[in-house]
């Protein structure tokens, strides 16, 4: 369920190498320490650390060309807001979307804050530039009937797939919708993480390696046990719960392809992805009177503002709550 130390070490080495290729040795040394800080103290996921390393490497590569040489610590402190804007304009010309550019600026600011905290200078220009606006997009949940149907292995009975594979995919989809998990959280589960009947909840590691407990419906548990019984590979307690065709950990890409097959069978739009099942979990709970803060905890959102986006998906629920709670609304 947890990223291995080897994986974290590989991410650190690759990220440090990318930055060392475009920055002065003193900057590369601090960047290595920064990446270790992100992974160990901030407990960011390896993929997040990898993305941050790419973003900072791209920033420093631009500066190397912009300044006429690999940037040094002193030169970072002398950057003007115009230099940062020039980098952002350069990224836009490369076709980078606003959301990705926001992340890149956040990565560069994170590195700048680390340098300041370590007494290596202040990169004030990064904070002086406003992040680009990102168009707000609302989650696109499935209908209740479609979300339930996705976890029905009978819909794919005609496919030339082993029964255990169909049972596995159905169990994964049932977990995503029934417990609101991210696909990485579901595929990161170990066999020993699944309740043995005495419990009805599991502990998952979300973003930032933060653990949270989520309930699991009896129906979902039965589907997991059906898959485990059919699976041709030994499912050790400390090994991955969901296996691929050759016995290794199941890849998210395989789950996405299975969902694509179901989209065709059910006539669903392209927005019907595995992650849409998580959106469906939150939206359907809210529409049935679920408490927003409880949904926040179940989803593992650090901020309530992230969860509040689902209120825009289901405005009817807000109106009903207002009418039921506001004294003047009740006449």
Angle of helix 98-117 relative to helix 25-40, nearest 10 degrees?
A: 100
Beta carbons of 54 and 46 less than 8 angstroms apart: no
Catalytic residue among 278, 279, 284, 317: 278
Catalytic residue among 52, 177, 227, 310: 310
Distance CA(49)–CA(34), nearest Å, equals 10
Distance CA(189)–CA(175), nearest Å, equals 11
Query: Which two three-digit tokens encode residue 134?
Result: 């990102």
Beta carbons of 265 and 155 less than 8 angstroms apart: yes
Catalytic residue among 182, 279, 284, 317: 182
Catalytic residue among 42, 207, 212, 263: 207
279 is catalytic: no
The helix/strand/coil state of 130 is: coil
Helices vs. strands in the chain: H and E counts, helices first: 17, 2
Judged on CB neighbours under 10 Å (0-12, 13-18, 19+), 150 is buried
293 is catalytic: no
310 is catalytic: yes
CA torsion, points 154, 156, 158, 160, in degrees to nearest 10? Answer: -130
The residue count for the chain: 331
Closest residue by Cα to residue 136 from 95, 94, 98: 98
Catalytic residue among 168, 191, 284, 301: 301
Distance CA(12)–CA(264), nearest Å, equals 41
227 is catalytic: no
Distance CA(26)–CA(231), nearest Å, equals 52
278 is catalytic: yes
326 is catalytic: no
Q: Which residues are catalytic?
A: 182, 207, 275, 278, 301, 310
């Amino acid at each position: 369920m947890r990223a291995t130390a080897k994986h974290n070490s590989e991410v650190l080495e690759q990220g440090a190498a990318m930055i060392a290729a475009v920055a002065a040795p003193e900057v590369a040394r601090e960047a290595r320490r920064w990446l270790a800080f992100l992974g160990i103290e901030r407990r960011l996921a390896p993929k997040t650390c990898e993305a941050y390393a790419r973003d900072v490497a791209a920033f420093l590569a631009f500066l190397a060309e912009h300044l006429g040489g690999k940037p040094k610590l002193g030169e970072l402190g002398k950057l003007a807001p115009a230099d940062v804007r020039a980098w952002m304009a350069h990224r836009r010309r490369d076709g980078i979307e606003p959301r990705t550019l926001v992340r890149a600026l956040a990565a560069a600011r994170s590195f700048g804050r680390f340098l300041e905290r370590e007494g290596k200078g202040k990169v004030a220009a990064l904070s002086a530039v406003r992040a680009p606006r990102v168009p707000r997009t609302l989650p696109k949940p499935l209908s209740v009937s479609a979300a339930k149907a996705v976890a029905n292995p009978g819909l794919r009975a005609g496919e030339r797939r082993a029964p255990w594979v169909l049972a596995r995919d159905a169990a994964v989809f049932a977990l995503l919708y029934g417990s609101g998990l991210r696909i990485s959280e579901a595929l990161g589960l170990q066999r020993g993480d699944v309740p043995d009947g005495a419990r009805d909840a599991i502990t998952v590691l979300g973003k930032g390696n933060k653990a949270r407990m989520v309930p699991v419906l009896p129906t979902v548990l039965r589907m997991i046990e059906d898959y485990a019984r059919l699976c041709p590979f030994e499912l050790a307690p400390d090994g991955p719960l969901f296996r691929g065709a050759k016995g290794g950990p199941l890849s998210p890409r395989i789950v996405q392809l299975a969902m694509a097959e179901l989209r065709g069978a059910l006539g669903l739009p392209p927005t019907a992805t595995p992650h849409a099942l998580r959106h469906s979990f939150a939206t359907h709970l809210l529409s049935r009177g679920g408490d927003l803060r409880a949904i926040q905890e179940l989803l593992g959102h650090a901020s309530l503002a992230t969860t509040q986006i689902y209120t825009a998906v289901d405005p009817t629920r807000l109106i009903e709550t207002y009418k039921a709670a506001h004294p003047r609304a009740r006449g």
